[in-house]
Structure 1
Amino acid sequence: MIQDFMLPDLGEGLPEAEIVAWLVAEGDTVALNQTIAEVETAKAVVELPSPHAGTVTKLHAAAGDVVAVGSVLISYDLGGDAAPEPAPAAEMQAEEPAKAEPNLVGYGAAPRGTARPQRRTRAAGGRPAASDTAVLEAAPHDAIPTPEITERPLERPRSTPPVRLFAKQLGIDLALVEATGATGIISRADVEAYAARVGATLTTSAPVEPAFVPEPNPSVAAGDRTTRTPIRGVRKHTAEAMVRSAFTAPHVTTFLTVDVTATTELIASLKADRSLQEHKIGVMAVAAKAVCLALARHPGLNSRWDDAAGEIVEHHYVNLGIAAATGRGLVVPNIRDAQDLTLVELADAIRGLAETARAGKTAPADMMGGTFSITNVGVFGVDAGTPILNPGEAGILALGAVRRQPWEHRGEIALRDVMTLALSFDHRLVDGEQGSRFMVEVADVLREPGRAMLLR
C-alpha cells in the first residue's frame, strides 16, 4: 500500500519549510521515527522523523526546495494490499482510538530494540547517483577507504549542513571522520584533516577539489556585478520580526559608560580557580546575573504589551534571551527561569546556547517565550549600538567592547577597563525614569560585583 506523508506543522505555526538535506533516498527501507530529512523553518534547522516504516517510493521535493505545510513530502510503500476495503462507520469509530501516530513535534528517537534500517548493497565501483546517499564501509580512521559500497552505519555522524556539503563534495563519508572538539560535532577542520590523510585514494574514487568552492549560483551570470539570494529561513523571519517590532513598539535607547575593572578582575580570579576553569565565566554571565537582579526591582522591563487583550502582562520569572550570530542569521534562544541560576550556571547556559546555535541545532521552542534579551556587540569590537526589541519583550541590553583606557578613578586618572551599555525599551511599558534606574542598577553590579550580595 502506498502512503503519502505531508509536511506537518513543526509546532511553531509557520507555513513552510526548506529542505536542507535528504537523509534517505528512493528505494531505501526506513523504520518508524528514523530521521529522513533536515528541514529549515524560519526559526531553526530541525530533523524530521519518519511517521511510517516502509520503503521510500518517491521524494516529492529536492534539497533546497521550499515546501508548504500540508504538501506531500515523501511516499512510502507500506507493504500489503494496494488499499484496504472501506470499513463500516461503526468499525472505523471503534478502531480509531487504537491507531498510533508518531510524535512529529517531539522528534522522538526510534523505540528501543528497533534496528535501524539499512541501505541496499550495491556493487563496487561506480559513483552513487546524486540522489543516492549510500556511504563507504566503516573502517579504522588510519586505513584507506575502499570504493566498496555497503551498509549505512548505525548512528548518523553529528555535523552541520555546511560541513556535510563540504564532505560530500570531497567524496568523504563522515562516518569515517572523527570529531576532535569537545562537543562531539564534526567540524570542517576534522574533514580537512581526514581528506589530507587519505587524499590520494579519494582522488581516484571521487573527484576531490583542493579547496571548498561553492557551486555556481544560477542567479549570477558571467559578468554580472550583483548576486541575488532568496530571502527565506531565519533571515526572513528575523527581518519580519524586527520590522514588526520597530513599527509596533515605540523604541527608546539610553546609553551608559561604566568602569568594569572590578568585574574583569573578578573574572580573572575565577578563571585562575581550577575548580571553575571549565565553566568559562565571562562578562556576559556577570551582566546576565546583574540583569536578573535588576529585573526583580524593575518589573516593567520584564513585561509584555498584550494589545489583543488590552492588558499589560508582568512576568514573575525571567526567560533571558541571548542573541547569537550564526551563519544562518541572528537567533535568540533563551535561558528558562534565569533568575534562579547562579553565576556559574548562567555561564554554562550561555555557552551551551551559543554552541547549539552555531551548530544550527537550536530547537524552535528554545526561541519562544523570552521576556528580556541581552546582545553582546562587543565581541565584534563595537562600542555601542541601538538594539531592536524582540517582539513581545519590553527591553534588550547591548554590551559594548571592554576597552582599556584613561578614566577618572578615586580622584586621579588611571587606566581602567571601560564598557558602554545600551538599553532599548518599549516606551508604552517603561518610561525614561524606569529605564534609567534599571540601567544604573545593572551598571552598579558591573562596576562593583560585590553589590550583588545586597540585592535579591
Structure 2
Amino acid sequence: MSYEFKLPDIGEGVVEGEIIAWLVNEGDMVTEDQPIVEVLTDKANVVIPSPKAGRVVSLPWKAGDSVPVGKTLLVLDIGGGAAAPAPTPAAVAAPKPAPAVVTSPPAPKPAPVVAAPPKPAAVAPPPVAPPPVALDAEGSGEEAPDELEDETISSDPSDLGPTEGVLAAPSTRRLARELGVQLTKVVATGKFGRVTREDVERAAAEKKAPARAAAPAAPSAAPSAPIAAVRVGPAPTPDRMKLKGIRKAQAEGMVKSFYTAPHFTYVEEIDMTELVRVRTALRPLVKARGLDLSYLPFIIKALCTTLKEHPFLNASLDDAAQEIVFHKVYNLGIAVATDHGLTVPVIHGADQKNLVELASELADKSDRARRLKLTKEDFGGSTFTITSLGKVGGVMATPILNPGEVAILGIHAMRISPKWDEAKAIFVPRETMNVSLSFDHRVVDGFTGATGVQRLKELLETPELMMLEMR
C-alpha cells in the first residue's frame, strides 16, 4: 500500500521548504523516525524524519527544488496492497518546482559586433567619436554647446583631406575652409582636443597680423593629443543568485517593517571601562567551565532590567484591534550573520538566566546558525531584538525593526576615547561603546526611547548596580 508523505508545517509562517539533500534513495527501506531529508526554510535548516516504516517508492523532488507545505514530499510502500504509481513533481505541486541551483554561471552571450568607422586611405590616426552629451538630473540631454551641434561626420570627402584626424564640428571645418585656415595647424582649446570656432577665428586673425620680429611668441596651451578610440569587448556576464530561504524571508520582513513602522533611532555613548574590569575578572572562571564570556550576556541582563522598567519597549502593536500588547516575557532575538543570510534565533526567558547560562546558549545557537542546524524551536516568540555590529566596527547605525516588535538595539565596536577627569583635571583613556536604539514611533515616543537608553547606560557603566538589579 502506498503512503504519500506530505511536507508538514515546519514553522510559524513557513509556506515552503527547499530540498537541501536527500538522506535516502529510491528503493531504500526506512524505519519510522529515520531522518530522510534535509530541508531549508526561511527560518532554519530542518531534518525531517519518516513518519512510517516502509520502502521508498518515489522521490519526486530533487535537491534545489522548493516544495510547498502540504504537497507530497515522497511516496512510501508500507505494505498491505499494491503500490500506487509514483507521482511526478508536475502532478504533486501546483507551482512548478524551482530549477536546481546552478553552481557555475551560464556562458556569456557574445555581444553584438559593432562595425568600426572606416579608416581614411592616408596613414593617419583614425577619427575619434565625439563624447556623449551629458545627462541632467531628469535623464534628458543638456543643451549641446555650439561646437557639438550637427556632430555627424560629413560624407563629403572635401571635409577630410588635410584635416583628417582633427576633432572639429562640420560647421567649424566649413569656417576653416572659408577663412583659409588649415585645421591641422590650429591650436585646439576645446574639450578632448576639439578645435572650436574661436580657435579657427583666432588662427585666421593671427595669419593676417604682421609678424613681430622682436617680441617672443606668447606661450599657448599645448595641443591636446586626440584620444585613441577604445574598442569595448563584451561585458562579463553577471552572476545571479536566487533570492530564497533565509535571505528571502529577511528581505520580505525588512520591507514590511520599514514601510509599516515609522522608525526613530536614538544613539548614545556608554563608558564600558568598569564593565571591562568586571569581565576581565570573571572570564577565567567562565573559561574553566569550557566557555568564553563576551560582553553580550552583560548587555542582555542590563537590557532585561531596562525592559521591565520601560514596558513600551517590550511590546507589540495589534493593528487589527488597535491595541498595544505589553509582553510579560523577555524573549530576546539575537541577530546572527551567516553565509546564507541574517538569522535571528531567540533566547527565551533571558531574564531568568545567569551570565554563564546566557554565554552557553549564545555560543550554541550562533554555532548551529552558521551550520544551518537550528530548529523551529529556536525561533518564534521574540519580544525584542539585539543586533551586534561590534566586530565590523562603526559608530552608529539605524537598525530596522524585526517584524512584530517595536524596538531593536544595535551595539557597536568598543574603542579607547579620551575623557575629562574632573578630579585630576586631565584627560584619561576610557573604554567606550555606542548603542543605537531604533523603535516604532507609533508605540514608543522619543522620551521613552531616550530614557530607556539612559537607564541601560547607567546599568552598564555601573556593574555593581546591574548586579543588584539582576533577577
TM over 0.5, shorter chain: yes
The C-alpha deviation readout for 1:328-361, integer Å capped at 9, x for no partner, is: 1111111111111222222222222212211211
Shift of 1:252: 0.4
Could you tell me which amino acid in structure 2 is paired with residue 396 of structure 1? I
The secondary structure found in structure 2 opposite 1:400 is strand
Contact 1:289 1:346 in 2 (8 A): no
Q: Structure 2: where are the runs of 5+ without partners?
A: 85-101, 111-234
Q: Structure 1: where are the runs of 5+ without partners?
A: 85-213
The secondary structure found in structure 2 opposite 1:419 is strand
Could you tell me which amino acid in structure 2 is paired with residue 270 of structure 1? L
Identical columns (%): 42
User: Residue 272 of structure 2 aligns with which residue?
Assistant: 260
Decide whether aligned partners of structure 1 residues 447 and 220 sit closer, same or farther in structure 2, where only a CA change above 3 A counts.
Answer: farther
What TM-score do the two structures reach when normalised by structure 1?
Answer: 0.68
Decide whether aligned partners of structure 1 residues 356 and 275 sit closer, same or farther in structure 2, where only a CA change above 3 A counts.
Answer: closer
Aligned pair count reads 327
Shift of 1:279: 3.3
User: Residue 9 of structure 1 aligns with which residue?
Assistant: 9
Shift of 1:453: 3.6
The secondary structure found in structure 2 opposite 1:404 is strand
> Could you tell me how far apart the structure 1 residues matched to 2:466 and 2:13 are?
40
What TM-score do the two structures reach when normalised by structure 2?
Answer: 0.66
Could you tell me which amino acid in structure 1 is paired with residue 375 of structure 2? A
Shift of 1:386: 0.9
Contact 1:377 1:384 in 2 (8 A): no
Alignment pair present for 1:369 and 2:381: yes
> Could you tell me how far apart the structure 1 residues matched to 2:403 and 2:258 are?
9
The secondary structure found in structure 2 opposite 1:375 is strand
Contact 2:286 2:356 in 1 (8 A): no
Decide whether aligned partners of structure 1 residues 275 and 43 sit closer, same or farther in structure 2, where only a CA change above 3 A counts.
Answer: closer
Contact 2:286 2:293 in 1 (8 A): no
Could you tell me which amino acid in structure 2 is paired with residue 296 of structure 1? K
User: Residue 442 of structure 2 aligns with which residue?
Assistant: 428
User: Residue 24 of structure 1 aligns with which residue?
Assistant: 24
Contact 1:271 1:277 in 2 (8 A): no
The secondary structure found in structure 1 opposite 2:413 is coil
User: Residue 47 of structure 1 aligns with which residue?
Assistant: 47
Decide whether aligned partners of structure 1 residues 262 and 277 sit closer, same or farther in structure 2, where only a CA change above 3 A counts.
Answer: farther
Decide whether aligned partners of structure 1 residues 240 and 219 sit closer, same or farther in structure 2, where only a CA change above 3 A counts.
Answer: farther
> Could you tell me how far apart the structure 1 residues matched to 2:105 and 2:302 are?
47
Equivalences for residues 156-167 of structure 1 within 5 A: none
Shift of 1:293: 0.7
Could you tell me which amino acid in structure 1 is paired with residue 457 of structure 2? A
The secondary structure found in structure 1 opposite 2:360 is helix
User: Residue 415 of structure 1 aligns with which residue?
Assistant: 429
Decide whether aligned partners of structure 1 residues 277 and 49 sit closer, same or farther in structure 2, where only a CA change above 3 A counts.
Answer: closer
Equivalences for residues 433-448 of structure 1 within 5 A: 433-448=447-462
Shift of 1:83: 7.1
User: Residue 233 of structure 1 aligns with which residue?
Assistant: 245
Could you tell me which amino acid in structure 1 is paired with residue 455 of structure 2? E
Q: Of 327, 331, 345, which residue of structure 2 is paired with 1:315?
A: 327
The secondary structure found in structure 1 opposite 2:390 is helix
Could you tell me which amino acid in structure 1 is paired with residue 392 of structure 2? F
Shift of 1:307: 0.6
Over 6 Å off, 4+ runs: 219-223
Shift of 1:319: 0.4
RMSD over aligned Cα atoms = 2.1
> Could you tell me how far apart the structure 2 residues matched to 1:296 and 1:77 are?
55
The secondary structure found in structure 2 opposite 1:416 is strand
